[in-house]
Chain A
């Protein structure tokens, strides 16, 4: 296959993973692997920001890369961290042991056989959610056209991750709404039960439910459920004694 066909196929495959319930780790492992197979990087890895704002290693194309990236996180220096902090691509040609921007990272990278490094932010507009790290056995990491393709891969992965997060958030909000509505409905039903059992109007029925919940230190929804089940003692809906009244 030509390089162009490779690139197109990779984009299509990455885009297909956006469908339905894909796995973020699978997606990013695919991204790292493609940077090696299509773009000729020696190895690639992806880090994502966690909720505390720190980076976590999510995917690596090889064990050597995994070790290097874990070292980068431990040492708190290296291309991925810089690309994440600044939101722009970071390139380092010709790494030198013990010197340069990342003296400790460079030493470990050279020991693993990598001579240069490039990191691209996973970024959509002002939001940077992680970084893609590419290393090469050559003294220059990657030619410009390949960097552009790598950034396209990274952009696609970013959009898919943000999209999935938005869906998860929407799901949570919807569940909260469903829960709030269910609680409310249970209380309205319980009011009807007390209305009938105690022969009082709806607003008095609510006062008695609330009075019972307060004097027994229970949640209103739990009292409401018990009222519906009939598991509360028969006298529970008598008017509360004055001391128990709010």
Chain B
């Protein structure tokens, strides 16, 4: 049974062409095979969102970006709590959670969210995010597919990184994943502008983004273009 799922997923991944699959293919296949509106893979850095490996479908980029900006959401919980996070009715959740994330996700048209840890054994890398534009739970079949897909993604990341020269990030990750480097550029600049630490500068950037209802990336781009200064 699990073997069938795995071969179906691997077959689908290879359908795009031979050789190593680009990371974008991982999210596309997750979305198609599991049958949801969108999919995204968040890689974590320490305990916080580090970047997006890929996104596919509708507003999935926005969903990833929201979780990155706010530092909360289903995939952050899935990673930190090391478990599957299921929210079949985001607009009317059983337990209110993600107070900043939820209203914005609902406004973007997301009605259900599911996050699966991306890990190999005890080695945790991030989480696979799935969302749907209608409410309702995943079927058992979709759930099982998502678990296998998360496993394939974890092995893909470790496999490409295994072949990277020591001290460097695999080229596939460097090129395809989005680690929001512009946000770190901006944090450096803002730390000088305000005479504060980088950590403090990041908090100020996040607060500005949240207060003005803007993605963190947009705020960072304004700083780097010298359109915005923090004094």
Chain A residue contacts of B189, Cβ below 8 A: 192-193, 195-196
Interface residue B188 (Cβ < 8 Å from any Cβ of A) = yes
Chain B residue contacts of A202, Cβ below 8 A: 185, 224
Interface residues of B in 178-225 (CB under 8 A from A): 179, 181, 184-193, 198, 224
Contact, CB under 8 Å: B191 / A192: yes
Q: How far does the alpha carbon of A202 sit from the alpha carbon of B181 in the complex, in Å?
A: 11
Interface residue B168 (Cβ < 8 Å from any Cβ of A) = yes
Interface residue B95 (Cβ < 8 Å from any Cβ of A) = no
Name the distance in Å between A179's Cβ and chain B's nearest Cβ.
7
Contact, CB under 8 Å: B167 / A180: yes
Contact, CB under 8 Å: B192 / A189: no
| Interface secondary structure of A, over-half rule | helix
Q: List B residues at the A interface (Cβ < 8 Å).
A: 45-46, 50, 120-125, 157-158, 161-162, 164, 166-170, 173, 179, 181, 184-193, 198, 224
Contact, CB under 8 Å: A228 / B191: yes
Q: How far does the alpha carbon of A182 sit from the alpha carbon of B50 in the complex, in Å?
A: 10
Interface residues of A in 146-173 (CB under 8 A from B): 163, 166-167, 170-171, 173
Interface residue A127 (Cβ < 8 Å from any Cβ of B) = no
28 A-B pairs whose Cβ atoms sit less than 8 Å apart in the complex = A166-B121, A167-B120, A167-B123, A174-B125, A176-B161, A176-B167, A177-B161, A177-B169, A178-B45, A179-B167, A181-B179, A182-B45, A185-B45, A188-B181, A189-B184, A191-B185, A192-B185, A192-B188, A192-B190, A192-B192, A192-B224, A193-B191, A193-B192, A195-B189, A196-B189, A196-B193, A202-B185, A228-B188
Interface residue A190 (Cβ < 8 Å from any Cβ of B) = yes
Contact, CB under 8 Å: A173 / B162: yes
Given contacts A180-B167, A181-B179, A189-B198, contact A170 B184 (CB under 8 A): no
Q: How far does the alpha carbon of A180 sit from the alpha carbon of B162 in the complex, in Å?
A: 12
Given contacts A181-B45, A189-B198, contact A176 B164 (CB under 8 A): yes
Name the distance in Å between B167's Cβ and chain A's nearest Cβ.
6
Contact, CB under 8 Å: B161 / A191: no
Contact, CB under 8 Å: B45 / A180: no
The 5 A-B pairs with the shortest beta carbon distances in the complex, nearest first, are A192-B188, A188-B184, A196-B192, A189-B188, A192-B189
Contact, CB under 8 Å: B164 / A196: no
Given contacts A167-B123, A170-B123, A181-B50, contact A189 B166 (CB under 8 A): no
Chain B residue contacts of A20, Cβ below 8 A: 122
